[in-house]
């Protein structure tokens, strides 16, 4: 499936089409619209496309899926996916509430993806990169064997071909249905990042909403430059786990991108509209080094 | 008499033992009819003890791994190692007592040691945050990893934590960042790394110092992507299903040896390491020393390469056409 | 009209200028006798202006270096550099606004930039702690030094701080440790380092990012082991003797060129850089670019060796028999 | 002058001999005694020697001079001083209150030293090292050109001869009378430490009372292992400067060795009686590496 076909199919599923009923007191025409989860106002599809799925009223960044992210960053027609068929199996025969195999199946059906991350070769601002994006719709883009394997291969391929790596992360954490096989992906992916770093090839990560747990605590944050989208939730422990542990409510904005910036954890919070230009400029510095521009 | 800590699965046995004790406190010469009963109960206890400790479930082992009397990292440092010099601090924020760092000698091998450190009592546990490190604990560990690397000292790690601490300050100071950096650093150390699971192996906080060229686990230690309670409350919305989930998660030493993640299992005395700690210390000394001997003199590039291959091979996938 | 900030040594001149302004506000056609006086005062002003700004003492220059309108690091970033991407944070504790870090381009040279950052007004100065870094500021600087080193980007530093912040939290988080580590790291970078003194060069907090393969200073910048006030209050028990002590400390650009510590001096417009910032920006761009061009393509080992020799040769001693 | 001669001459000047008068209410015999600055109790010289100049009443560590420190750490007869004649001059012609040359002269007279640090070859627990100790009596062991030069040479010599370095620090900071020549010694000494580190030779520093300012913020703390004596004052800014800046009193114990341990800055606070054994054990690990003991 080409990216543009994929986009169309995806969007078709996503929009709510008004059937006669209108939101009370508002002037919604017949057509396609969404409700902003932050300001609760209605946003028309045309606006959303124009604003890269950022709410024109309040600036809230709607979640993007993997191919939307890639479409945003990759130079036109430059993305060439690899390892699209790599998927997790059910090595532990895991059944709790429902079988893991069922979760995998329904995730594949709903998303059209084999796993929670999409990786490929691309150029960004003309720089050859390995570009990857996680897709939260796939079991929360949790990292099991397949996500870990695809990330590891992405870094290895970048090392072989002397490319930079650009990753957009989004994940609920480790995929518990694969037990320790899943936890060990944290060490495995971090080890591949280290090898890229030793080769002095740049790695830029873009933390998007939400990036939590074992993904944050491994390959997501050990990049040369760490960017974050406005308002993304990023952290190690989930807010509910923390609240249960410390028996108190968390302050507003806790674990947001802006909170992380203040605490020294990310280089910059970059609005979506500026992201591609920013990544390009960073690659100008890091992928070409210090010779004259 | 201090009340004995009773694990769930031991309860029938402990109740029977209590009954026997009660019987024995009676004047048996005055109650000759009880002599037979005492003998019967004693026999029952023997049988029950055997069955109780013979076929432990994953959840039983989780309880043993959390037993308050279970030997802790500092007990191993005292019993297994000599010439121990504890090193403190991350040189930036604090000294996290939930991580112990030391230079030490085991069976003639000079090494650096890192371990999660739980307390033996409430006061100690509060100071050590129940063995749950903050970011500065992992940063202390990284400092010692770099020191070991610089001076060619092999690294021995002792894994025993419920997990990295989930708290406001831990997040503020970059818990995820500290763990991730530790993983990357540990993967590239140019000295042998021997990791030993001695108790709890809780998620990323365990893994941050919990892998290497060898992974040895005590029979009743666990190592898991998530605590069974948390897993049960997410998947079943019922933490009470932890026992069931513990089995699914394949978190015991035996499970992990089956998955090729654990290299060696050190068997424990019946009932757990706390019953005969000296026996366990001896076994750990012997296994760690053997592993260090086997790894000694390895070419650093080869060490890093083979550790990478070890990690790289973990995972079960299928390759579809996409 | 905003009240103009007046430096001590400018006061006589400013008073005379005020007088002239007053005279000019009068109706000179009604007071023809004043015409001559206006001319006289104007002449006096010209003479006084020349002498005021001609022979500046060390203490006068200290005042210029602290002038609120003096161009700050961020002004240089905006005016001298292009394609600026500011980078934030130390990845461990915070983002210290008293240090600015960026990737930037100067006259075609892609570089990393570090600078002390003062504010332009009270609100900014509070956020930036008047340009006095905490340890996390130096740790941010170190992170960017490592980044520059990794990717072969030359480093340009802009020195402008009263000093590292002397406070409780700064000590708690290891102010001395952060500065010392920064000194050691900076000394060994395998990329060209060009340091530019643009304002205040206060002690260890300046030095932490304040030396390299070239040290360029603006004419009225200072660089000193201690502030003249602090030195005077220690040695004279009288901070009022700062003016006298400033001369003793040999802290001006000219003094330091004489000692072989400063390589180049960029002259400033009469009265200070704030009078004609564009002129200064142009000169800084040109000198930094020349220095980078001269250092470009140098062998990294040779760079580190020659930077070491530079540092190694600083100091005046006598060798006795002991 | 041999160390033992030096010790005798030094001690002779230092003791207070009681002339008839006795401390009220105490049983002080004729003889040699000192008053503990911490607990104010009287300590007899015999006790002080036995306890390595640690108060037998309260454990307060009396300051030691450079040769006392060296005598404590070096294997007997092993210390061989170098660069004893290196001294600062007065490059700036510095006069404030009194001429710097006068300060230098009187410091030399009082201490019998040419400068504020003593360095030499030695063995410690059999390990060949370069051993150095600072002497606070010499203008507060402040670091000017000569102290910087001696420290730099110490590290260079250790590098040449593949020795470990052990330094006992004590300093008021930079020597302001040498202006920027003094400040630059911070960079110079730190650079020499870095070179030793790159050669993977160990450096152990022992922070003693007081170690402040430019010495703390350069070579003193960038050691592989940082030890501190109990109760030593160690920091960057002096307590009075901080109090003036923040307009409040400092908490008790602020900038003490124990405070630094708690804040992660030192590896261990080691009582003087255990120091030599501790340094020896550390050298066993670091100077010999990981082969079998
Ligand atoms: Zn909105
Ligand atoms: Zn005392």
Nearest Cβ partner for B248 among A92, A181, A183: A92
B120 and B184 fall within a common domain: yes
The answer as to whether D44 is a domain residue is no
Copy the structure tokens of residue B94.
């604090």
Between CA A201 and CA B220 the distance in angstroms is 43
Q: Write down the residue that tokens 């001869």 correspond to.
A: D161
Show which subunits contact B, needing at least 3 CB pairs below 8 angstroms: A, C, D
Residue positions counted in chain B? 322
CB contact under 8 A, B86 and D268: yes
Residue D28 confidence (pLDDT):
42
Collapse the DSSP code of A276 into the 3-class scheme (helix H, G, I; strand E, B; otherwise coil) and give the result. helix
Question: Which two three-digit tokens encode residue A122?
Answer: 């691309």
Torsion of CA C269, C274, C277, C283, to 10 degrees: 50
Dist. CA A22 → ligand 1 center (Å): 19
Cα–Cα distance for residue pair A167/A203, rounded to 1 Å: 8
Give the integer Cα–Cα distance in Å for A116 and B198: 34
Out of B91, B93, B177, the one facing C91 most closely (by C-beta) is B177
Number of domains in chain A: 1
3-state secondary structure labels for all residues of chain D: CCHHHHHHHHHHHHCEECCCCCCCCCCCCCCEEEECCCCCCEEEHHHHHHCCCECCCCCCECCCCHHHHHHHHCCCCCCEEECCCEEECCCCCCEECEEHHHHHHHHHHHHCCCCCEEEEEEEECCEEEEEEEECCCCHHHCECHHHHHHHHHHHHHHHHHCCEEEEEEEECCECHHHHHHHHHHHHHHHHHHHHHHHCCCCEEEEEEEEECHHHHHHHHCCCCEEEECCCCEECCCCHHHHHHHHCCCCCCCCCEHHHHHHCCCCCEECCHHHHHHHHHHHHHHHCCCCCEC
Which residues in chain A come in under a pLDDT of 70?
1-31, 289-293
Q: Model confidence over A143-176: pLDDT tens digits?
A: 999 999 999 999 999 999 999 999 999 999 999 9
Whether C235 is in a domain gets the answer yes
Distance from CA of D66 to the nearest CA of B (A): 26
**Mutating which of D162, D263, D267 best tests the B interface, going by the most B Cβ atoms within 10 A?**
D267
Q: Is D258 exposed, middle or buried (0-12, 13-18, 19+ CB in 10 A)?
A: middle
- Write out pLDDT tens, residues D224-273: 999 999 999 999 999 999 998 889 899 999 999 999 999 999 999 999 99
User: Which of A175, A184, A194 is opposite residue B261, by nearest beta carbon?
Assistant: A184
Closest Cα to residue B134, out of B105, B174, B92, B104?
A: B174
pLDDT value of position D9:
42
CATH number at residue C243: 3.90.226.10
Decide: helix, strand or coil at residue A277: helix
B75 lies in some domain: yes
Contact list in D for residue B140 (CB cut-off 8 A) is 264
User: Between C and D, how many residue pairs show a Cβ–Cβ distance under 8 A?
Assistant: 214
Look-up of token digits 């507003």: A252
List the shell of residues around ion ligand 2, using CB closer than 5 Å: D 36, 38-39, 55, 57-58, 60
Distance B145 CA to ligand 1 centre (A): 47
In a domain, residue D87? The reply is yes
CA of A50 to the centre of ligand 1 (A): 15
Cis peptide before A210 (omega within 30 of 0): yes
- In this predicted structure, what is the pLDDT of residue B3? 61
Closest Cα partner for B73 from B192, B190, B187, B195? B195
Please tell me whether residues C135 and C172 are part of one structural domain. Answer: yes
Residue B242 and residue B114 share a domain: yes
Q: What are the φ/ψ torsions at residue B141 (nearest 5 degrees)?
A: -60, -40
Minimal C-alpha gap between C21 and chain A (Å): 49
What SS3 class is residue A222?
coil
Residue B1 lies in a domain: no
pTM metric for this prediction: 0.94
Provide the 10 A C-beta neighbour count for residue B33: 7
Q: Reply yes or no on whether the pLDDT at D7 is more than 50.
A: no
Residues on chain A touching C95 (C-beta within 8 angstroms) = 261-264
For residue B172, being part of any structural domain is answered with yes
pLDDT score for C149: 97
In the predicted structure, residue D215 carries a pLDDT above the cut 60: yes
**Which of C225, C260, C306 has the highest number of chain D CBs within 10 A, making it the mutation to test binding with D?**
C225
Q: Which residues of D123-134 are buried (b: 16+ CB within 10 A; e: fewer)?
A: bbbebbbbbbbb
Does some domain include residue A10?
Answer: no
For chain D, give the percent of residues with pLDDT over 90: 82
Residue with tokens 């060798």: C319
Mean pLDDT over all residues of chain B? 94
B-chain CB neighbours of A214 within 8 Å are 203-204, 225
Residues B75-97: what's their mean pLDDT? 98
Tokens (6 digits) for A13: 């599923």
Distance CA D29, CA D20 (A): 10
User: Could you say which of A197, A278, A285 has the minimum Cβ distance to residue C153?
Assistant: A285
pLDDT for the residue D23:
38
Alpha-carbon distance of C166 to C132, in angstroms, equals: 9
Whether residue D134 contacts residue D117, with contact meaning beta carbons closer than 8 Å, is answered with: yes
C-contacting residues in A 50-89 (Cβ below 8 Å): none
Question: Which token pair is C101?
Answer: 């870090």
Range of the domain at A282: 63-292
Residues B107 and B155 in one domain: yes
Closest ligand to the CA of A41:
1
Chain C environment of A225 (Cβ under 8 Å): 87
Asked if residue B85 belongs to a domain, the reply is yes
C51 plus C149 within the same structural domain? no
3-state secondary structure of C309: helix
**Are residues B46 and B105 part of one domain?**
no
* ipTM of the complex as predicted: 0.93
Residue with structure tokens 């001459």? Answer: D9
Nearest listed ligand to the Cα of residue A48: 1
Q: Which residues of A touch B244 (CB under 8 A)?
A: 96
DSSP 8-state code for residue B162: S
Q: What is the pLDDT of residue D289?
A: 58
Residue of C137, C151, C213, C298 to mutate for A, most A C-beta atoms under 10 A: C151
Residue A32 maps to a domain: no
Q: Within a 10 A sphere around the Cβ of A43, how many other Cβ atoms? A: 21
pLDDT (tens digit per residue) in B245-303:
999 999 999 999 999 999 999 999 999 999 999 999 999 999 999 999 999 999 999 99
Give me chain D's average pLDDT, please. 90
Rounded Cα–Cα distance for residues D200 and D164 (Å): 9
Q: Does residue D34 lie in a domain region?
A: no
Q: Give contacts of C83 with chain A, Cβ < 8 Å.
A: 281, 284, 293
The answer on pLDDT for D11 being more than 50 is: no
Residue A51 lies in a domain: no
Tokens at D161, concatenated: 């001869």
% pLDDT > 70, chain D: 88
The count of other CB atoms within 10 Å of the CB of residue A248 is 9
Looking at the domain assignment, is residue D25 inside a domain? no
- Distance in angstroms (rounded) separating the CA atoms of residues C132 and C96: 9
Residues B200 and B249 in one domain: yes
Which residues have C-beta within 8 Å of that of residue C79, sequence separation ≥ 6? C71, C277, C278, C281
In a domain, residue B321? The reply is no
Peptide bond into C264 cis (omega under 30): no
Are residues A16 and A44 in contact, defined by beta-carbon separation less than 8 angstroms?
no
Q: Does D30 score more than 80 pLDDT?
A: no
Q: What are the tens digits of pLDDT across the range C36-71?
A: 888 888 899 999 988 888 889 999 999 999 999 999
Whose atoms come closest to the Cα of D36: which ligand?
Answer: 2
B90·D281 Cβ contact <8 A = no
Q: How many CA atoms lie within 13 A of A174 on its CB side?
A: 32
Same domain, B123 and B268: yes
Interface test with D, best of B153, B156, B190, B294 (most D CBs within 10 A): B153
Beta-carbon separation of D187 and C311 below 8 A: yes
pLDDT band for position C322 (50/70/90)?
A: low
Residues 159-218 of A with CB under 8 A from B: 174-176, 178-188, 190-195, 197-198, 213-214, 216-218
Per-residue pLDDT tens digits for C64-110:
999 999 999 999 999 999 999 999 999 999 999 999 999 999 999 99
Instruction: Please check whether residues B99 and B27 belong to one and the same domain.
Output: no
Percentage of chain B exceeding pLDDT 70: 99
Torsion angle of C-alpha atoms C294, C299, C300, C303, degrees rounded to 10: -50
Q: Which of these, C173, A173, C146, A237, lies nearest to B174 by C-alpha position?
A: A237
- Whether residue B155 is found in the same domain as residue B175: yes
pLDDT in tens, C262-278: 999 999 999 999 999 99
Q: What pLDDT is attached to residue A292?
A: 52
Contact B85 D278 (CB under 8 A): yes
- pLDDT of residue B322 exceeding 80, the answer is no
A and C: number of Cβ contacts within 8 A = 79
The domain of B33 spans 8-55
Q: How many whole angstroms from A207 Cα to the centroid of ligand 1?
A: 20
Q: Is the pLDDT of residue D68 over 50?
A: yes
Beta carbons of D281 and B93 less than 8 Å apart: no
What is the number of structural domains in chain B? 2
Please indicate, yes or no, if residue B99 is contained in any of the structural domains. yes
Say whether both C208 and C125 belong to one domain: yes
The CATH number of the domain holding residue A107 is 3.90.226.10
pLDDT in the model for residue A226? 98
- Report the neighbours of C using a cutoff of 3 or more CB pairs below 8 angstroms: A, B, D
Gyration radius of chain A's alpha carbons: 19
Say whether both B43 and B153 belong to one domain.
no
Please judge whether B183 and A191 are an interchain contact, meaning their C-beta atoms are less than 8 angstroms apart: yes
């Amino acid at each position: 499936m080409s990216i543009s076909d994929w986009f169309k199919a995806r969007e078709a599923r996503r929009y709510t089409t008004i059937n006669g009923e209108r939101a009370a007191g508002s002037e919604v025409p017949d057509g396609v619209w969404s409700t902003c989860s932050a300001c609760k106002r209605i946003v028309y599809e045309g606006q959303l496309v124009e604003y890269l799925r950022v709410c024109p009223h309040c600036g809230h960044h709607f979640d993007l899926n993997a191919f939307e992210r890639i479409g945003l960053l990759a130079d036109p027609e430059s993305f060439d996916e690899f390892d699209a068929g790599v998927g997790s199996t059910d090595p532990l025969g895991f059944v709790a509430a429902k079988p893991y195999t069922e979760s995998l199946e329904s995730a594949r059906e709903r998303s059209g993806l084999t796993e929670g991350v999409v990786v490929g070769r691309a150029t960004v601002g003309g720089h050859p990169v390995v570009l990857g994006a996680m897709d939260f719709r796939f079991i929360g883009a949790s990292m099991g064997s397949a996500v870990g394997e695809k990330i590891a291969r992405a870094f290895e391929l970048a090392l072989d071909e002397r490319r930079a790596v650009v990753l957009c992360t989004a994940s609920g954490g480790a995929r518990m249905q694969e037990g320790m096989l899943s936890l060990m992906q944290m060490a495995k992916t971090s080890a591949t990042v280290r090898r890229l770093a030793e080769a002095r090839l740049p790695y830029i990560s873009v933390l998007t909403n939400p990036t939590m747990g074992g993904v944050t605590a491994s390959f997501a944050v050990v990049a040369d430059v760490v960017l974050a989208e406005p308002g993304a939730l990023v952290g190690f422990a989930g807010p509910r786990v923390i609240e249960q542990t410390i028996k108190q409510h968390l302050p507003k904005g806790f674990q947001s991108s802006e909170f992380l910036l203040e605490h020294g954890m990310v280089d910059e919070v970059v609005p979506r509209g500026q992201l591609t230009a920013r990544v390009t400029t960073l690659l100008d510095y890091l992928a070409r080094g210090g010779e004259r521009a | 008499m201090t009340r004995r800590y009773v694990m769930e699965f031991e309860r029938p046995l402990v109740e029977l033992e209590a009954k026997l004790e009660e019987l024995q406190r009676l004047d048996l010469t005055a109650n000759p009819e009880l002599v037979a009963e005492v003998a019967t109960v004693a026999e029952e206890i023997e049988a029950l003890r055997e069955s109780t400790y013979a076929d432990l479930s994953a959840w039983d082992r989780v309880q043993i791994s959390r037993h308050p009397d279970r030997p802790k990292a500092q007990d191993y440092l005292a019993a297994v190692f000599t010439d121990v010099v504890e090193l403190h601090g991350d040189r930036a924020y604090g000294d996290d007592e939930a991580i112990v760092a030391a230079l030490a000698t085991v069976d003639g091998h000079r090494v650096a040691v890192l371990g999660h450190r739980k307390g033996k009592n409430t006061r100690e546990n509060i100071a050590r945050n129940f063995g749950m490190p903050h970011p500065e604990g992992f940063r202390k560990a990284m400092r010692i990893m770099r020191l070991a690397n610089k001076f060619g000292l092999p690294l021995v790690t002792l894994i025993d934590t419920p997990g990295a601490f989930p708290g406001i300050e831990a997040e503020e100071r970059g818990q995820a960042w500290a763990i991730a950096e530790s993983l990357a650093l540990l993967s590239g150390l140019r000295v042998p790394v021997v990791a030993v699971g001695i108790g709890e192996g809780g998620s990323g906080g365990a893994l941050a110092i919990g892998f290497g060229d060898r992974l040895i686990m005590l029979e009743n230690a666990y190592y898991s992507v998530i605590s069974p309670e948390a897993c049960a409350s997410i998947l079943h919305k019922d933490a009470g299903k932890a026992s069931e989930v513990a089995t699914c998660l394949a978190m015991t030493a035996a499970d992990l040896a089956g998955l090729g993640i654990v290299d060696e299992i050190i068997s424990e005395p019946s009932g757990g390491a706390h019953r005969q700690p000296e026996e366990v210390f001896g076994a750990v000394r012997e296994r760690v020393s053997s592993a260090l001997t086997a790894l000694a003199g390895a070419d650093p590039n080869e060490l890093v390469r083979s550790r990478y291959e070890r990690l790289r091979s973990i995972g079960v996938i299928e390759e579809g056409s996409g």
